[in-house]
Amino acid sequence: MDLFVKYQSRQGGSFSATQNLVDFSVPPSGVYDLSDSFVQLNYDLEVTENSTGGGSGVYDMNVQWVTTDTFHPHFDNVAVVKNASLDCSSKGRIENLRRVDQLRQNMAYYDKTRMEGIDEAYVNVNQIKAPINGQVYGHSRQFNKEGAVKSQAVAPAPLQIRLSDIWEFCRAPEYDTDKAGETRLHLELNLGKLEAAGHVPTQYEGQGQCSFVDNTTQGAGNNAVTVGSMIATVATPTKFISLEDSPYYVGMKVLISATGDGGAASPTGVSAVISSITWDRDTGFITLGFEQNWAAALGAGESYTAISCTFATATASLLFSSAELVLKRKGTPEGLGQIEYNTYSTEETNGNGLLNFTNLYTIEPEANAVVIFTPDGSDGLLSHNSDIAKYRLRLNNEDLTDRDIDVDSPLYYDRTAMTLNSMGSGLSNTLQNAGVSDADAWTNTYNKTTKSLNFIGNPLFQTASTKLLQVNIEAGGGGVKALSIFKQLPRVFSY
């Protein structure tokens, strides 16, 4: 029977931008399925409410990538890892990767379709708007959209990073630690690039939101209150054919405003926490109950009209408390004798703003593909340089194409697909946009020009000795800036 085994990191206490090294040691203890194993970082979002009245609310919080741009890039969990190495006592170094974040994240933008990215939202700490209901729900909260059970924060919440996303060696279904000996995993994390995003507005915010229902009459638009009614419930004017379309959840704090008629005072921005949600499946209307009365009971001739609410907001700080390694130990291994995988060597250079950039790079004899990313943006993650117009590669003084490759030309996509295929991947997404996690609508998630991507790559022929790669790039505007060169190296691990 397969079992999951958990190992604590060597480092204790909290992790931060300066305390960002994580190490694990796995003793000889059986055969593990590394493809189904992961590193788990446990984090908390400590919330400070901006509206302190009306009880304590549960806030929808997202984790975002730090950038000075207007919008924040969408990223997978693997981007949290900057550098990583993997060793075992019998064979020594297995993989030593620099800039895991840039390699894996930018590759993912090309070899995953947008729908595949959405399907993985259940595990990603950074969420984007849902394409149907336009909502964003943070990974660290459990939401109840019906009934009277209050939603709650998950503390600590897990940030899970698949080992196979970090190291291609870990795509192996069997790894025998009894033969390989003690195995050591070392990670340098990008914790300084993560921050709490706070409340994310939904598509319904600012649209009138909800209208009042008294204790005796049900129905949307009934915002006249009878004498003696307790001001505790409201009903939305919107019909919801699905409960998932509703932006409301139990425990949400809202700010209610209304117009008082007949001498009644007009409440403005009164804090109230939703205590219950009733959804009429026949009519589609939702009734919200509250923990507190958000206005006084009405006297003779008094009423409330134009009742509406907005969503209360909060700020949060992101804290990482611990790190764990979760391995799947196989009960009945097949006994694989060797593992074939690819690893990468990395070279980081800078074009210094040159409009006609030329440089020569040393390439390992066994390298069979090269990828060049341009992390020029303020996020340090995306391969983004919209000034690049064309490029051309030469290997050992042999042109790899018979002409310059214009960006977004048919030859550009041909070489991109060829390179990805040679690396065991594939071109599944030609949109070439990373997407943002704080778009105002789903339709605006993948149309930000600051999140457009560049890809420079080509398969390489293997040689008996070191080879030389000449890179020529033509650019306008700010020219060629940062370059990260990844060279794919095939390896075989045998016991």
- Domain that includes residue 276, residue range: 211-312
| Tens of pLDDT, residues 33-75 | 999 999 999 999 999 998 888 889 999 889 999 999 999 999 9
**CA atoms lying within 13 Å on the CB side of residue 38:** 13
Please check whether residue 50 lies inside any domain of the structure: yes
Output the CA–CA distances (angstroms, integers) from residue 364 to 236, 345, 370, in the order listed. 65, 9, 11
State which amino acid sits at residue 216. T
Task: Spell out the residues 6+ positions from residue 8 whose beta carbon is closer than 8 angstroms to its own.
Answer: 322, 323, 324, 325
9-13 average pLDDT score = 90
CB 126 within 8 A of CB 74: yes
Q: Are residues 20 and 166 in the same domain?
A: yes
Instruction: Give me the pLDDT at residue 224, please.
Output: 44
Is 429 domain-assigned? Answer: yes
Half-sphere exposure of 112 (CA within 13 A, CB side): 20
Mean pLDDT of 289-308: 78
Residue at 113 is within a domain: yes
Specify the pLDDT at position 232.
Answer: 65
Q: Is residue 384 part of a domain?
A: yes
Task: Kindly give, in sequence order, each residue whose CB lies less than 8 Å from that of residue 294, ignoring residues fewer than 6 positions away.
Answer: 54, 231, 232, 256, 267, 270, 271, 272
Residue with more model confidence, 114 or 101:
101
Segment 262-290 mean pLDDT: 87
Distance, in Å, from the CA atom of 449 to the CA atom of 432, rounded to the nearest integer, reads: 10
Domain-embedded: residue 24: yes
Domain finish residue from 257, 285, 312: 312
Kindly state the tokens that stand for 226. Answer: 């009878």
- Is position 206 within any domain? no
Give dist(CA 67, CA 192) in Å, integer.
11
145 and 62 share a domain?
yes
Q: What pLDDT band is residue 237 in, cutting at 50, 70 and 90? A: low
**CATH code of the domain in which 255 resides:** 2.40.30
pLDDT of residue 102: 98
Query: What are the tens digits of pLDDT across the range 300-347?
Result: 777 777 777 788 888 899 999 999 999 999 998 988 889 999 999 999
Residues 40 and 181 in one domain: yes
Residue 364 is encoded by which pair of tokens?
């390992």
Residues 195 and 256 in one domain: no
- Give the confidence band of 231 by pLDDT, cuts at 50, 70, 90: low
Name the pairing type of β-strands 31-49 and 21-26: unpaired
Q: How many CB atoms lie within 10 A of CB 216?
A: 8
Model confidence at 214, in pLDDT bands (50, 70, 90)? very low
Residue that terminates a domain, selected from 265, 294, 312: 312
Same domain, 363 and 224: no
Cβ partners under 8 Å of residue 145, min gap 6: 243, 244, 246, 248, 249, 250, 277, 279
Query: 192 and 226 share a domain?
Result: no
Q: Are residues 375 and 486 in the same domain?
A: yes
Task: Confirm whether 205 is domain-assigned.
Answer: no
The confidence score (pLDDT) of residue 285 equals 80
- For residue 348, the one-letter residue type is E
Whether residue 38 is found in the same domain as residue 164: yes
Taking only the tens place, the pLDDT of each residue in 344-396 is 999 999 999 999 999 999 999 999 999 999 998 889 999 999 999 999 999 99
Q: Which of 57-71, 81-95, 180-194 has the lowest mean pLDDT?
A: 57-71
Higher per-residue pLDDT: 95 or 309: 95
CB 167 within 8 A of CB 86: yes
State whether 273 and 346 are in the same domain.
Answer: no
pLDDT at residue number 206 = 41
Q: Is the pLDDT of residue 256 over 70?
A: yes
User: Cα separation of 130 and 62, whole Å?
Assistant: 14
Output the CA torsion 399→402→403→408 (10° steps).
-100
Indicate if 181 and 225 belong to the same structural domain.
Answer: no
In the predicted model, what is the mean pLDDT of residues 131-151?
A: 89
The percentage of the chain sitting over the pLDDT mark of 70, rounded to a whole number, equals 92
Is 357 inside a domain boundary? yes
Output the average pLDDT for the chain.
89
Count of domains for the chain: 2
Q: Do 87 and 62 share a structural domain? A: yes
Lowest mean pLDDT among 121-135, 171-185, 361-375: 121-135
Of 312, 340, 361, the residue at which a domain comes to its end is 312
CB atoms within 10 A of CB 91: 14
Sequence-ordered list of residues with C-beta below 8 angstroms from that of 217, at least 6 positions apart, any chain? none
- What is the length of the chain? 495
Query: Strands 338-354 and 480-494, how do they pair?
Result: antiparallel
List the end-to-end C-alpha distance of the chain, in Å, as a whole number: 24
Query: HEC profile for the chain?
Result: CCEEEEEECCCCCCECCCCCEEEEEECCCCEEEEEEEEEEEEEEEEEEECCCCCCCCCCCCEEEECCCCCCCECCCHHHHEEEEEEEECCCEEEEEECCHHHHHHHHHHHHCCHHHHHHHHHCCCCCCCCCCCCCCCCCCEECCCCECCCCEECCCEEEEEEHHHHCHHHHCCCEEHHHHCCEEEEEEECHHHEEEEECCCCCCCCCCCCEECCCCCCCCCCCCCCCCCCCCEEECCCCCCCHHHCCCCCCCEEEEEEEEECCCCCCCCEEEEEEEEEECCCCCCEEEEECCCCCCCCCCCCEEEEEEEEECCEEEEEEEEEEEEEEEECCCCCCCCEEEEEEEEEEEEEEEEECEEEEEEEECCCCCEEEEECECCCCCCCCECCCEEEEEEEECCEECCCCCEECCCHHHHHHHHHHHHHCCCCCCCCCCECCECCCCCHHHCCCCHHHECCCEEEECCCCCCCEEEEEEEEECCCCEEEEEEEEEEEEEEEC
Rounded to whole angstroms, the Cα distance separating 436 from 60 reads 17
**Same-domain status, 345 and 308:** no
